[in-house]
Amino acid sequence: MDIQLQESLAESLRWRCKESASDTAIKFLDREQTYSQLDSNANHIAQGLLNLDIKPDSRIAYLAKNTDYFFEIFYGALKAKAVVVGVNWRLAAEEVSYVLEDSKSEILFVSPDFFNIIDEIEERLPFIKKIVCLDGEHKDWINYLTWKNSSEDIDPQLPTNENDDVVQLYTSGTTGNPKGVQLTNKNFYAATDNTLGIIPFPSGSKAMVCMPVYHVAGTNFGIWGLLQGCNNIIIPEVDPGLILDLVESEKIELTLWVPAVILFLLQHPNAEKTDFSSLKVVVYGASPIAEDTLTKAINLMKCGFYQVYGLTETTGGNYLFDFRRSRPEERQAKILWESFTWS
């Protein structure tokens, strides 16, 4: 493990941004930022939140596909002791309204793809103090860059502790409304310490973040990549053709794909033409995988495959299975480690 974990995620990311200041932290489309720039952007966001009278433990919501802005907002919220609420962008307007009301989110960051949803329900959201547009303009709401750049580049240095909530993600069962899962610094540290102790995340390596950040898989993989000082390549959503292109052109070394994505990649016409030689680690989970799919993927990509099993409530994967260490006849995953401590 390269990261020197501090007392909280905020402190750990401060350490990483200082340690890897000039290295690329995030690349999204044609935008790139170094770790130093990420730290500066987070300062602006933290001050912007404090200027809106956001108190510790207040919720701020993100309704958009994956962008570099999510991780700026996440880190800025950590510095302001606010809690990011990931809103599933596949939800209908009524469900989005429920999540925002249930979480009592006070600030909403929303992209143009979902302006129509918020327009439809805005009158039912009196607790929202400010709506901020990501990568777009709305006649009633402020633009993200305008809002962010209007605040000072000063780290508020608020004290944090292991029991502070850092993110609230919603998980849906087969019945009822989505359930909000509150995850703390302690929860993330239990998962991070064990995950990074087993799965190699070398500092400076290229990591792809393609799973949605409203899901614990997307959030975790992005956070782990930043903590480890990776160069994190972010794409808005799963796009098999784009994923294959980037694996080859960006020389991706680490990624997390759910089994359905692995199957889509194998079925893509460019799969056999793609150069996977840079790829070292594929983490997969969230649903069962067919033995045939896994075998084909291993034969094609020729890298390490790590299966994780867990829940949003357990900060993601709490069991891990390294396929390479199993006997060919062994098909029941051996429990290698547990990454969640009950508090």
Statement to judge: residues 58 and 143 lie in one domain: yes
Predicted local distance difference test score (pLDDT) of residue 337:
31
335 within some domain: no
Residue 65 belongs to some domain of the structure: yes
Say yes or no: 32 and 161 in one domain.
Answer: yes
Decide if 6 is inside a domain. no
pLDDT at 328: 44
Q: Does residue 151 fall inside a structural domain?
A: yes
> Do 213 and 256 fall within a single domain?
yes
Are the C-beta atoms of residues 73 and 60 closer than 8 Å to each other? yes
Is 79 in the same domain as 208? no
Q: Which residue has the higher pLDDT, 306 or 337?
A: 306
At 130 the three-state DSSP class reads strand
Q: Which of residues 151, 184, 217 is at a domain's end?
A: 184
Among 123, 152, 184, the domain boundary falls at 184
Q: Same structural domain for residues 119 and 75?
A: yes
pLDDT band at residue 14 under the 50/70/90 scheme? very high
Strands 316-322 and 304-311: antiparallel
Q: Tens digits of per-residue pLDDT, 180-219?
A: 999 999 888 877 776 777 777 889 999 999 999 998 888 9
Domain total in the chain? 2
Residue 336 has pLDDT above 90, yes or no: no
Tell me what percent of the residues of the chain surpass a pLDDT of 90: 70
Judge whether residue 319 has pLDDT over 70.
no
Residue 336 within any structural domain of the chain: no
Same domain, 153 and 224: no
Residue-averaged pLDDT of the chain? 88
Which pLDDT value is given to residue 193? Answer: 72
| In a domain? residue 233 | yes
Which residues span the domain enclosing 119? 20-184
pLDDT at residue 316 above 60?
no
| Spatial contact of 72 and 84, defined as CB atoms under 8 Å apart | no
Least confident of 15-29, 38-52, 245-259, 273-287: 273-287
What pTM was estimated for this model as a whole? 0.90
- Structure-model confidence comparison of residues 43 and 307, the more confident one: 43
pLDDT of residue 198: 74
1-10 residue pLDDT tens: 576 778 899 9
Q: Is 60 inside any structural domain?
A: yes
Any domain includes 230: yes
Shared domain check, 306 and 224: yes
User: pLDDT at position 318, please?
Assistant: 52
* CA atoms within 13 Å, Cβ hemisphere of 56: 11
The predicted model gives 13-19 an average pLDDT of 96
Which residues touch 148 (CB under 8 Å, ≥6 apart)? Answer: 41, 44, 45, 48, 72
Alpha carbon of 199 to those of 10, 64, 195, 281: distances in Å? Answer: 22, 29, 6, 8
**Do 237 and 169 fall within a single domain?**
no
Q: Do 215 and 320 reside in the same domain of the chain? A: yes
- Distance from C-alpha of 334 to C-alpha of 119, rounded to nearest angstrom: 49
Assign residue 214 the CATH number of its domain: 3.40.50.980
* Same domain (yes/no): 196, 172: no
Can you give the pLDDT at residue 262? Answer: 96
How far apart, in whole angstroms, are the C-alpha atoms of residue 162 and residue 329? Answer: 43
The CATH number of whichever domain residue 65 belongs to comes to: 3.40.50.12780
Q: Place 321 in a pLDDT band, splitting at 50, 70 and 90.
A: low
Last residue of a domain, one of 168, 184, 200: 184
Looking at the fold, whether 189 and 96 belong to one and the same domain comes out as no
Q: Does 229 share its domain with 312?
A: yes
What is the percent of the chain where pLDDT is above 70?
88
